[in-house]
């Protein structure tokens, strides 16, 4: 399967004046295959939302490359760039804040179509809106209502319909279920899965919690302080996490089967999340890592493939330190 999206050494630094720099995203690399769901997980402040917005061009990148369908987006200009971004859309965490309260659902969903001059006439666009409302489990009677008349889950359905209005290939969903009631979360995830099948969509699904990305992601990248520290298939990440940070995140998720006794030792992260204004030297995770060694404060661990399709940035997997038995040693 070819890659729809390739992100190479992407950086987004914010210059805050007086020489202060916030390295919100500091060199992340990953690719997303056509039709897959790539999960990005990490605590708030790890840079995952900034990464999503930078990929979509809502922020100018500081460095690195974003390749979409084989084209370097940041080399595109004018009209070509405009029509290129049509292919990538975003679903936001808070559907209410992202929907104009004074616009009807019809106006909200047809606006991007109008901007891009799609579906011919107003009539054509209205028909498309009706179709989209049905696609997301609402109906045409909802078209003339206002956002406040809907529940949180319904509003997120409207947000999804709007994201689909331009027939995009890629959707970046930034914590799309975090603000919803638990009972509604699964419905929205199932809707997203169905739409993915029907429309051949590719997703980047951003969440702060591994249990949320688990339900939907084929592969998952774990971010910490602006960096990607581990990346692999969802199943390997849950079965055999290699990075100490991922291991800690995973022990925070309860075992789903109530009949299975949870014998795992809960790993509590030590200390506070350091400020991204002043990240630790060497490994960014070292101030909270139970395995930190001398090398960890001196040398930044390289993000590399230590097992097939399993990337990690941690000195525990450097040749000569623990070798191939590294993960067993950590799990013990
Ligand atoms: Fe811990 Fe060192 Fe690995 Fe960082 S590089 S996660 S500090 S063992
Ligand atoms: Mg966020």
User: At which of 110, 131, 160 does a domain end?
Assistant: 160
Is the CB of residue 242 below 6 angstroms from any atom belonging to ligand 1? no
Sheet strands (E) in 18-53: 20-33, 37-41
Is the CB of residue 224 below 6 angstroms from any atom belonging to ligand 1? no
Is the CB of residue 291 below 6 angstroms from any atom belonging to ligand 1? yes
Tell whether 227 is covered by a domain.
yes
Listed as own residue / partner, the contacts of 109-112 with beta carbons closer than 8 Å and 24 or more positions apart are 109/133, 109/158, 109/161, 109/162, 109/165, 110/165, 111/162, 112/162, 112/165, 112/166
pTM of the model: 0.91
Task: Identify the pLDDT of residue 186.
Answer: 93
- CA-229 nearest atom, ligand 1: 6
Is the CB of residue 161 below 6 angstroms from any atom belonging to ligand 1? no
Q: Which ligand is nearest to the CA of 206?
A: 2
Tell whether 93 is covered by a domain.
no
Residues spanned by the domain of 142: 102-160
Is the CB of residue 317 below 6 angstroms from any atom belonging to ligand 1? no
The answer to whether 127 and 109 have CB atoms below 8 angstroms apart is no
Task: Identify the pLDDT of residue 323.
Answer: 43
Ligand 2: centre distance to CA 47 (Å): 7
Tell whether 92 is covered by a domain.
no
Q: Tell me how many helices (H) and strands (E) the chain has.
A: 11, 12
Task: Identify the pLDDT of residue 199.
Answer: 97
State whether 196 and 69 are in the same domain: yes
The domain total for the chain is: 2
State whether 259 and 143 are in the same domain: no
Q: Which ligand is nearest to the CA of 295?
A: 1
Which stretches of 149-286 are DSSP H helices?
152-164, 182-199, 210-214, 234-239, 244-251
State whether 43 and 9 are in the same domain: yes
Tell whether 96 is covered by a domain.
no
Tell whether 219 is covered by a domain.
yes
User: At which of 115, 136, 160 does a domain end?
Assistant: 160
Task: State the Cα–Cα distance between residues 231 and 243, nearest whole angstrom.
Answer: 10
Sheet of 202-207, strands arranged across: 88-91, 170-174, 202-207, 37-41, 219-224, 227-233, 310-312, 304-307
Task: Identify the pLDDT of residue 260.
Answer: 64
State whether 32 and 116 are in the same domain: no
Tell whether 114 is covered by a domain.
yes
> Taking Cα atoms as reference points, which of 306, 273, 305, 302 lies closest to residue 287?
273
Ligand 1: centre distance to CA 292 (Å): 5
State whether 250 and 304 are in the same domain: yes
Is the CB of residue 143 below 6 angstroms from any atom belonging to ligand 1? no
Which of 293, 312, 327 has most ligand 1 atoms within 8 Å of its beta carbon, as the pocket-test mutant? Answer: 293
User: At which of 129, 144, 160 does a domain end?
Assistant: 160
Tell whether 107 is covered by a domain.
yes
Ligand 1: centre distance to CA 282 (Å): 9
State whether 129 and 41 are in the same domain: no
State whether 200 and 290 are in the same domain: yes
Instruction: Spell 158-192 as b/e; 16+ CB within 10 A means b.
Output: bbbbbbbbbebbbbbbbbbbebbeeebbebbbebb
State whether 47 and 189 are in the same domain: yes
State whether 224 and 262 are in the same domain: yes
Per-run averaged pLDDT (10 residues), the chain, 332 residues: 93 92 96 97 94 93 95 88 90 86 96 92 96 97 96 95 96 94 93 97 95 91 97 94 94 67 69 87 95 95 96 90 46 40
Task: Identify the pLDDT of residue 261.
Answer: 67
CATH number of the domain encompassing residue 262: 3.40.50.300
Is the CB of residue 282 below 6 angstroms from any atom belonging to ligand 1? no
State whether 36 and 156 are in the same domain: no
Interface predicted TM-score (ipTM) of this complex, two decimals: 0.97
Is the CB of residue 301 below 6 angstroms from any atom belonging to ligand 1? yes
State whether 81 and 114 are in the same domain: no
State whether 301 and 254 are in the same domain: yes
Tell whether 95 is covered by a domain.
no
Measured by CA distance, the residue closest to atom 6 of ligand 1 is 314
Is the CB of residue 213 below 6 angstroms from any atom belonging to ligand 1? no
Task: Identify the pLDDT of residue 262.
Answer: 65
Question: Backbone phi, then psi, for 151, in 5-degree steps?
Answer: -75, 170
């Amino acid at each position: 399967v070819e890659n729809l999206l390739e992100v190479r050494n992407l950086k987004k630094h914010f210059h805050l004046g007086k020489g202060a720099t916030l390295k919100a995203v500091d060199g992340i690399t990953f690719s997303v295959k056509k039709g897959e769901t790539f999960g990005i997980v990490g605590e708030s402040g790890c840079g995952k939302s900034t990464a999503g917005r930078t990929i979509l061009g809502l922020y100018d990148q500081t460095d690195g490359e974003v390749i979409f369908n084989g084209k370097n987006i940041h080399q595109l200009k004018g009209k070509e760039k405009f029509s290129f971004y049509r292919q990538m859309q975003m679903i936001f965490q808070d559907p209410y804040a992202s929907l104009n309260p004074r616009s009807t659902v019809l106006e909200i969903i047809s606006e991007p179509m109008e901007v891009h001059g799609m579906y011919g006439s107003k009539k054509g666009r209205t028909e498309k809106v009706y179709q989209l409302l049905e696609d997301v489990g609402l109906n045409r009677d909802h078209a003339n209502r206002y956002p406040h008349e809907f529940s949180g889950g319904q509003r997120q359905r409207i947000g999804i319909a709007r994201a689909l209005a331009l027939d995009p290939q890629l959707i970046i969903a930034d914590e799309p279920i975090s603000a919803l009631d638990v009972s509604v979360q699964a419905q929205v995830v199932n809707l997203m899965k169905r739409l993915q099948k029907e429309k051949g969509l590719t997703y980047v699904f951003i969440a702060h919690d591994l249990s949320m990305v688990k339900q939907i992601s084929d592969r998952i990248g774990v971010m910490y302080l602006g960096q990607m520290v581990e990346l692999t298939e969802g199943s390997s990440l849950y079965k055999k996490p290699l990075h100490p940070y991922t291991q800690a995140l995973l022990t925070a998720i309860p075992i789903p089967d109530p009949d299975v006794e949870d014998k795992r030792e809960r790993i509590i992260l030590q200390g506070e999340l350091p400020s991204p204004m002043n990240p630790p030297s060497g490994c960014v995770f070292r101030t909270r890592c139970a395995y930190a060694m001398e090398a960890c404060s001196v040398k930044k661990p390289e993000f590399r493939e230590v097992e097939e399709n399993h990337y990690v940035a941690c000195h525990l997997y450097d040749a000569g330190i623990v070798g191939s038995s590294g993960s067993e040693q950590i799990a013990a």
